[in-house]
A and B are shown apart, each in its own frame.
Chain A
Amino acid sequence: MRMIGDFDSGASALWSLYRDEAKSRDEARIQTLKEDMDGVLIFVRSCSSCARNVLHSTDAHSHRLVYSLRLSHRL
């Protein structure tokens, strides 16, 4: 049922034109946005794994590092 005060089916050509235009434009814009977001996510993921590795090894390594430095000082 058609509401009062609205376009009838004759205007659908115009609106489908609007939709197509808007769609192509939005899609282009959103494509870049998505790529950005993907990039961020990938970066964060790789960073976190990197950080985890560093943290795991930090204990042993830093102790060894600190110890060797102290030794060299005393010698």
Chain B
Amino acid sequence: MVFYLQQNVAMLAQISQQISSISPQFAIPSSPPPPYPAFSPSSSNLRVNVFWFMALIFSLSAALLAILVQKWVRDYMHVFQRYSDPLKSARLRQYLHEGCEKWYMPVVAEAVPGLLHVSLFLFLVGLGDFILNINTTVGLCTVVPIGFIGLLYIFTVFASVIYPQSPYQNSFSALIWHLIQRLRGRTYKNQGPESASKPVSPNMSERQMQLTMAESGERKKRDGRAIRWLADSLTEETEMELFVVAIPGSFNTEWGLEVWKGISKVDEDENATANQKEIAAAPSAETNISTSMLPTVQPPPRATTVGNESGFIVRLIGMCTTNVSSTDIVAPARCTSDSPAPSVITFSQEENVVRELSRRVAQLLETCKNRGLFTTDEQWRRRTRACVETTASLVGCANAELVWFGDVGRLLGDIGGVEKTGESFSTGMDRSFVIRWICLSTMAIRPVLGGDRLLQRMAGGIVSSIQSFQGEQGAPDEQRLRSAEGIDDEFVRAWGCLLRLFWALFQGPNLTEQDMVEILRNHEFLITELERISVSASRLTWVDQGCTFLLRHMDQITHGITGQLPSVQKRFTIGPIPFSQVLEFFEDPLKFPIIPPGQVLQSLCSLAPRFRSILEGQGDAEETRETLMNLRAIDRVINLATSPLQRQLWRLRDLLEGGGLGFIVELFFRALKQLLSTSLSQELQSALFIGTFRAITSDWSLYKHSLGTQKILLDAVASEYGIFSDFNYPAYITDEFLQLLENMLDKQTGPHIDLALQQLENPPPWNYRGSPEFRANASNVIFQSSQI
């Protein structure tokens, strides 16, 4: 083209000369225009061309590589379709896979987008250069955005190298990270006990994995936020059920417990700040609505407390899910007065997560109450179990409160009956459920026992009817105590008679009919004594009736839970008590916290009329055999329960005045004895038990002056047959107990405390199985706290 242009120029010059020679009158400048300069590209032109062509090549090669990679990948994936024999395809896959790694296939694949990026930037640089040479204004307008984009790109390269959490990552950041890691070898640390620092992986995604899994406080918080997010985003009932099924398992380890504690702690902090805000806002609002009437006043946006993006996202999601409900609640508040500050309402979107979770678990629990809704019993069982376990975990370990879940007693009774929690504890059943069920049950029946007026009245009735047994003078308290002692003496006497009969009858190896009558005749005074006791026991009918009614009522108000706690509370059959059951009571008196004393005495003496009839030659062989077998069974009872009635008196007084605090503590420790032998993780057990114990004893200050409660607690520690004497409880729970004891006995005095101290000073009884430190600690605590 240049050639033609030059030719044109030459021809034009010739024509002009010819014209000038033809007509000289026209003054035509003779000199021809200067010749067209020879073409020589400027350096800028060169640069632009270099840039652009390189860009072209790069992008085309990227395209080529992309096509190739797609082909390779297709071939690779073909392995899985080609052979049906798993061994063949597995081997081939392994072979090819190793080949891929060896030949840096992932690197090549990663490089393809990289090539494209390079190409794009070459083009942009060339463009900038080109236009800058033509016009400065247009050029600047082009170069500035190009530079900006370039900077952005460089930022994305280094951001993910420096901050592992950064999502801005591209082909080059991996390369640079690899190089840096080769040169410097950065390390990270676990916060765990084995805190050896390990090198961070040169692979970026592996590095992220390492850092996310590294044990640290940050990870704990992150886990907590993840759970909060999950709780916020699951809204459907079926989803919720799955979630509820899954929650209890997350409490199994110490880590899980700490995460949950973290969750509830953040909630508390938020509540605290919210309360402060509320108080600060109250005077300025000048409304007649008290602050307590604005339940929706909630913490400030979580972003401030959590302080990063993910928290913000959580908050956003939380806002979406809680939006409807909270605005519903806000609406009436708005109607009643115009002036509540709008800022207060905007903050109301936040919900305490554990609280919110509890609310929804409560909803699920509510659906469980209607068994007709479920197509199969199995579904009901599954959901109820999950709800119970979750509730127990949340209340025991995540600072939730039982009242948030509504009335669960009925449901606990039902599911306890279905799962037979009371019976087959030893056979392989779901321990984790039973533990949680028991913890939740003790927590659930605590307020019921404390708040039931009828129960208290019944307990009072029994206490005053005991008085009639042997008390004629003195203060009513004293009379009752003396009566109880009297009944206990009768127990001892009856027992003594039976024992002497036993010794007399089972001396020799063989016992003939003749011998037996002879022996019985010699010991007729024992039979007479038993008959006398039986008569005197009939004076206790009122007490017996009261006890039976009390137990029945207790069953009713606790929905049968008290009867389902394992090996805690059995009750005697209604009507005459079989002799074997009485023996069971004497073996383990704590199993039966409340007994009808008259019936027990009569049952003990029930052998007397049989012996009498043998003596008179009227008994048939079958009856005789049975009687002797019963008598022989008393050999089983090694240690006789001392003063059961006095204990019962204290227990009743505890129910009467102490809200059943001591009673529940006794129940709890009895159940614990069974639970501690389970294989559940130590951390969960301790957290759950401590949580439960604190929950059931949280209102101790109300019952501080209840003599019955004090006496029961002291008895548990000091008495020969107290709860702590026949089992070695772990220190974490005994410490809690001693703390309660200290609180209860603070600045209290009385003969019962002195007695306990005295008992503790003696060497431990022969059947003591607790730790010696516990006795010393207990004695110390009692002594210290009773000092004024």
What is the interface of chain A, defined by CB distance below 8 A to chain B? Answer: 6-7, 11-12, 15-16, 18-19, 22-23, 26-27, 30, 33-34, 36-41, 43-45, 47-48, 51, 65-66, 69
**Is B134 touching A34 in the complex (CB atoms < 8 A)?**
no
Bits for B72-89, please: 1 = Cβ < 8 Å to A, else 0.
Answer: 010011001000011101
Which residue of B69, B80, B97 is within 8 Å of A37 (Cβ)? Answer: B69
Q: How far is the CA of A11 from the CA of B76 in the complex (A)?
A: 24
**Interface residue B135 (Cβ < 8 Å from any Cβ of A):** yes
Shortest CB–CB separation between residue A45 and chain B, in angstroms? 8
How many residue pairs link A and B with beta carbons under 8 A? The number is: 76
Chain A contacts of B89 at CB under 8 A? 19
**Is A18 touching B134 in the complex (CB atoms < 8 A)?**
no
* CB within 8 Å for A40 and B90 given contacts A34-B73, A69-B135: no
* CB within 8 Å for A12 and B70 given contacts A23-B80, A37-B112, A41-B63: no
Which residue of B70, B80, B93 is within 8 Å of A34 (Cβ)? Answer: B70
* CB within 8 Å for A39 and B87 given contacts A22-B93, A23-B80, A44-B60: no
**Is A40 touching B62 in the complex (CB atoms < 8 A)?**
yes
- Given A37-B109, A41-B66; 4 other pairs, CB 8 A cutoff: A7-B87, A26-B93, A37-B66, A40-B62
* CB within 8 Å for A33 and B109 given contacts A19-B80, A26-B76, A27-B77: yes
Bits for B49-77, please: 1 = Cβ < 8 Å to A, else 0.
Answer: 00000001001101100110110010011
The contact sample of 14 A-B pairs, CB cut-off 8 A, is: A7-B87, A15-B86, A22-B94, A26-B77, A26-B97, A37-B69, A37-B73, A37-B112, A40-B116, A43-B116, A44-B62, A44-B63, A44-B66, A51-B56
Chain A contacts of B94 at CB under 8 A? 22
**Interface residue B113 (Cβ < 8 Å from any Cβ of A):** yes
Chain A contacts of B69 at CB under 8 A? 33, 37
**Is A22 touching B97 in the complex (CB atoms < 8 A)?**
yes
Which residue of B77, B87, B93 is within 8 Å of A11 (Cβ)? Answer: B87
**Is B87 touching A15 in the complex (CB atoms < 8 A)?**
yes
* CB within 8 Å for A40 and B80 given contacts A12-B86, A19-B86, A33-B69: no
**Is A41 touching B77 in the complex (CB atoms < 8 A)?**
no
Which among B69, B87, B97 has the highest number of chain A CB atoms within 10 Å? B87
Shortest CB–CB separation between residue B2 and chain A, in angstroms? 15
**Is A12 touching B87 in the complex (CB atoms < 8 A)?**
yes
Q: Which 6 A-B pairs have the closest CB atoms?
A: A16-B86, A15-B86, A44-B63, A37-B66, A40-B66, A15-B90
Q: How far is the CA of A38 from the CA of B70 in the complex (A)?
A: 9
Shortest CB–CB separation between residue A60 and chain B, in angstroms? 15
Q: How far is the CA of A41 from the CA of B80 in the complex (A)?
A: 26
Q: How far is the CA of A39 from the CA of B86 in the complex (A)?
A: 34
Chain B contacts of A65 at CB under 8 A? 134
Q: How far is the CA of A36 from the CA of B89 in the complex (A)?
A: 27
* CB within 8 Å for A47 and B59 given contacts A19-B89, A36-B113: yes
Chain B contacts of A38 at CB under 8 A? 66
**Is A69 touching B134 in the complex (CB atoms < 8 A)?**
yes
Q: How far is the CA of A30 from the CA of B93 in the complex (A)?
A: 14
**Is B93 touching A19 in the complex (CB atoms < 8 A)?**
yes
Chain B contacts of A6 at CB under 8 A? 87
Chain A contacts of B97 at CB under 8 A? 22, 26
Residue of A with least CB distance to B73: A30
* CB within 8 Å for A30 and B59 given contacts A11-B87, A19-B90, A40-B116: no
Bits for B735-767, please: 1 = Cβ < 8 Å to A, else 0.
Answer: 000000000000000000000000000000000
Which among B63, B97, B120, B135 has the highest number of chain A CB atoms within 10 Å? B63
Chain A contacts of B76 at CB under 8 A? 26, 30
* CB within 8 Å for A40 and B134 given contacts A12-B87, A22-B93, A22-B97: no
Shortest CB–CB separation between residue B660 and chain A, in angstroms? 57
Shortest CB–CB separation between residue B260 and chain A, in angstroms? 32
Chain B contacts of A37 at CB under 8 A? 66-67, 69-70, 73, 109, 112
Q: Which of B505-525 contact A (CB under 8 A)?
A: none
Shortest CB–CB separation between residue A13 and chain B, in angstroms? 8
Chain A contacts of B135 at CB under 8 A? 69
Chain B contacts of A22 at CB under 8 A? 90, 93-94, 97
Chain A contacts of B80 at CB under 8 A? 19, 23, 26
